[in-house]
Amino acid sequence: MQTIPSALDLHGASWRDWITENLERRCAPEELLNRMLKTTWKYEQAILALDEAMALLGMPPTTWRPRVPTIPDEDTIQLGERVIRVLGRFSSPRAALLDGLLSAEECGNLIDYAYSKGLNKSGVVDGATGESIKHHARTSTSVFLTRAETPLIDTIEKRLSELTNWPISHGEGLQVLRYEAGQEYKPHFDWFDPQKPGSANHLKRGGQRVGTTVIYLATPEEGGGTRFPKSGVQVYPRAGGALFFADVDVSGRPDEMSLHSGMPVVKGSKIVATYWQREGPFR
Ligand SMILES: O=C(O)CCC(=O)C(=O)O
């Protein structure tokens, strides 16, 4: 009979010893998880291994579990009829590149709906006041859509909630953005800096932003990648695909590695829908 290795043994005895010894030394499980995710450990396996070790050591295993949106550690994710393929995973920031999140028809219908509402020059949050201001760092046009504004938007939000295992009530509405040649969004964080006065009102509306999904609705002919300058990772937009990334680390702290940019479009138009998830219900 074949025995299934325990999660704790998945990466060999030295990892098993490292995990148990550090837990015995009362290191925070979140810190260990952060370190493990910078290596070959996958998110869910690392959590299982920590749970197993804590159970072996007689510690209550479920009290520490991180509360962040998470995409299952699988190559293919089936949600109802839809099959979503995971094309890539990155550990810092924690991110997954997805194919087939939306059908071509859904992309087209969402674009048409956004256009029917009208797109205006995009804004950025002013750190001092919290107001949305126009800024040379962001040159796209965009429109905010409220939660469940149409049956299609409701379907997409439910899909994203199921995919990331995060309540739909914690999601902000979608924002549809259009970039023409030369337009971009320079490096920025999606999280609100708790040190800046302008963040207070935003944080009151559901806490920190913990997850971002950039859904690619239209593929530009050239350029327009989404780039993480701190890790050097860049992904290229393909309509129907998406890039999920966590804005916070597994302890819920803003992740500096999540600095990202929408690179300038060189040719054609790039259209995306951005979906942000908060730590609590969004009001
Ligand atoms: O356009 C992109 O690729 C990224 C969009 C983005 O950074 C954002 O909406 O926060």
pLDDT tens for 3-41 read 556 889 999 999 999 999 999 999 989 889 989 988 888
Q: Are residues 243 and 120 in the same domain?
A: yes
Q: Is residue 65 part of a domain?
A: no
Instruction: Domain of residue 18: give its range.
Output: 7-56
Tokens 């994710």 belong to which residue? 77
Q: Are residues 24 and 134 in the same domain?
A: no
pLDDT number for residue 5: 62
Buried b (16+ CB within 10 A) or exposed e, 241-272: bbbbbbbbbbebebbebbbbbbbbbeeebbbb
User: Ligand 1: distance of its center to the CA of 54 in Å?
Assistant: 39
Q: Is residue 66 part of a domain?
A: no
Q: Is residue 183 part of a domain?
A: yes
d(CA 156, CA 164): 12
Tell me the per-residue pLDDT of 243-258, one tens digit each, with 9 for 90 and over. 999 999 877 889 999 9
d(CA 88, CA 97): 5
Q: Are residues 20 and 147 in the same domain?
A: no
Tell me the per-residue pLDDT of 207-224, one tens digit each, with 9 for 90 and over. 999 999 999 999 999 999
In the predicted model, is pLDDT for residue 81 greater than 60?
yes
* Beta-ladder partners of 76: 85
pLDDT number for residue 40: 87
Q: Is residue 209 part of a domain?
A: yes
Any idea which of 69-73, 105-109, 146-150, 207-211 has the lowest mean pLDDT?
69-73
- For residue 170 the two structure tokens come to 């914690």
Q: Are residues 83 and 191 in the same domain?
A: yes
Please report, rounded to a whole number, the percentage of residues in the chain having pLDDT higher than 90.
75
Q: Looking at residue 207, which CATH number applies to its domain? A: 2.60.120.620
197, 204 Cβ separation under 8 angstroms: no
Q: Are residues 41 and 121 in the same domain?
A: no
- What region, left, alpha or beta, does residue 126 occupy, with left being phi > 0 and alpha being psi -120 to 50 degrees? beta
Q: Is residue 265 part of a domain?
A: yes
Average pLDDT, whole number, for the chain? 92
User: Ligand 1: distance of its center to the CA of 185 in Å?
Assistant: 7
pLDDT number for residue 62: 64
Does any ligand 1 atom lie closer than 6 A to the CB of residue 262?
yes
Does any ligand 1 atom lie closer than 6 A to the CB of residue 214?
yes
pLDDT number for residue 55: 86
- For residue 259 the two structure tokens come to 């600095």
Q: Are residues 50 and 81 in the same domain?
A: no
Q: pLDDT band for 44, please (50, 70, 90 cuts).
A: confident
User: Ligand 1: distance of its center to the CA of 226 in Å?
Assistant: 7
d(CA 278, CA 191): 9
pLDDT number for residue 95: 95
Q: Is residue 283 part of a domain?
A: no
The average pLDDT across 172-194 equals 97
Q: Are residues 237 and 97 in the same domain?
A: yes
Q: Are residues 220 and 254 in the same domain?
A: yes
DSSP string across 58-122: T--SSTT---S----S-SEEEETTEEEEEEEEEETTEEEEEE-SS-HHHHHHHHHHHHHH--EE-
Does any ligand 1 atom lie closer than 6 A to the CB of residue 226?
yes
Pocket test for ligand 1, best of 212, 217, 233, 274 (most atoms within 8 A of CB): 274
In the predicted model, is pLDDT for residue 132 greater than 80?
yes
Q: Are residues 133 and 245 in the same domain?
A: yes
Buried b (16+ CB within 10 A) or exposed e, 96-133: bbbbbbbeeebbebbbebbeeeeeeebebbeeeebeee
In the predicted model, is pLDDT for residue 2 greater than 60?
no
Distances (CA, A) of 93 to 157, 210, 254, 258: 23, 12, 11, 5
Please report, rounded to a whole number, the percentage of residues in the chain having pLDDT higher than 70.
96
Q: How many domains does the chain have?
A: 2
Tell me the per-residue pLDDT of 224-236, one tens digit each, with 9 for 90 and over. 999 999 999 999 9
pLDDT number for residue 3: 52
Q: Are strands 222-223 and 120-121 parallel, antiparallel or unpaired?
A: unpaired
In the predicted model, is pLDDT for residue 268 greater than 70?
yes
Does any ligand 1 atom lie closer than 6 A to the CB of residue 122?
no
Local structure of residue 257 (DSSP, 8 states): G
User: Ligand 1: distance of its center to the CA of 216 in Å?
Assistant: 10
